[in-house]
Amino acid sequence: MNVTIFQGHSHDLPPSNITIVIDVIRAFTVAHYAFHRGAKEIVLAGTADEAFLLKKENPDYLLAGEIGGLAIPGFDFDNSPKRMAEADVEGRTLVQKTTNGVKATLNALGAEAMFVTGFSNAKKTAEAARKLCGPGATVTIIASHPEGDDDLACAEYIKAMIVGDKSVDNSEVVERIRGCRQAEKFFDPNQPEFIKEDISFCTNMLDCDFVMYVDCSKKLPRLVRVNEHELHWIGPARP
């Protein structure tokens, strides 16, 4: 099979059978914990204004995300996986707007099947992609942060798992995530808006039985939880 990694959120991508979009710090780690807490679905919004409009039309929706890493005034949640891991979102629909992960996903809606992940769900996502791949399949992996070694490390880890390369150790991935430039502000006492516990959540691989699939069957793309035994129904991730 042919597995290619792209870095950044605005590529003109070639056709692929499967696309995986990665945002470790922190969008799709947040999404993973939201589903772990029982969220129903996560609608992807390109702008904060679009998210607010969705909230106006659907008052029970919860807004989560960031601009420049910082909380968006008026949103219910920021982009902290620690806070999401403690949130009451059982059965709720979330709307997510982020700088890199969501943007990269919305710019890549052309694969036959599409998934998003952080490191916390990387192994399960790679296993799902490998299960769905036939001979000659093409897989596109997007490390959504244009410069982030956290996303790139995770992308290389997922690629290695898909192609059967056992030389990439997950402890090395964790070390790269914790040591990347994007993680520095979380350990800076002069930037209290970024909490260091978030990095622990971003480097913790959860034991779960689901992946996050991009469903484009409705008006707006949304993330849904797909369990291992449900992978057979996966269809085109096209708007």
Instruction: Give me the pLDDT at residue 238, please.
Output: 38
* Burial category of 59 from C-beta neighbours within 10 Å (exposed 0-12, middle 13-18, buried 19 and up): exposed
- What pTM value is reported for the model? 0.95
**95: its two tokens:** 């709307």
Instruction: Name which of 138-142, 178-182, 227-231 the model is least confident about.
Output: 227-231
Cβ neighbours for 72, distance < 8 A, ≥ 6 positions apart? 48, 51, 63, 65, 66, 78, 97
**194-214 pLDDT per residue, tens:** 999 999 999 999 989 999 999
Q: What distance in Å separates the CA atoms of residue 213 and residue 221, rounded to the nearest whole number?
A: 10
Instruction: Give me the pLDDT at residue 239, please.
Output: 35
**145-178 pLDDT per residue, tens:** 999 999 999 999 999 999 999 888 899 999 999 9
The per-residue pLDDT of the chain, averaged, comes to 94
Give the Cα-Cα-Cα angle 217, 52, 186 (nearest 5 degrees).
95
Dihedral in degrees, nearest 10, Cα atoms 205, 208, 212, 217: 180
Domain locations along the chain: 2-233
Instruction: Give me the pLDDT at residue 12, please.
Output: 86
Fold classified for 2-233: putative 2-phosphosulfolactate phosphatase (3.90.1560)
The amino acid at 1? M
**56-107 pLDDT per residue, tens:** 999 999 999 999 999 999 999 999 999 999 999 999 999 999 999 999 999 9
232 band by pLDDT with thresholds 50, 70 and 90: low
**25-66 pLDDT per residue, tens:** 999 999 999 999 999 999 999 999 999 999 999 999 999 999
- Cβ neighbour number for residue 225 with a 10 Å cutoff: 21
Residue 123 has pLDDT above 60, yes or no: yes
Q: What distance in Å separates the CA atoms of residue 237 and residue 214, rounded to the nearest whole number?
A: 6
Instruction: Give me the pLDDT at residue 156, please.
Output: 97
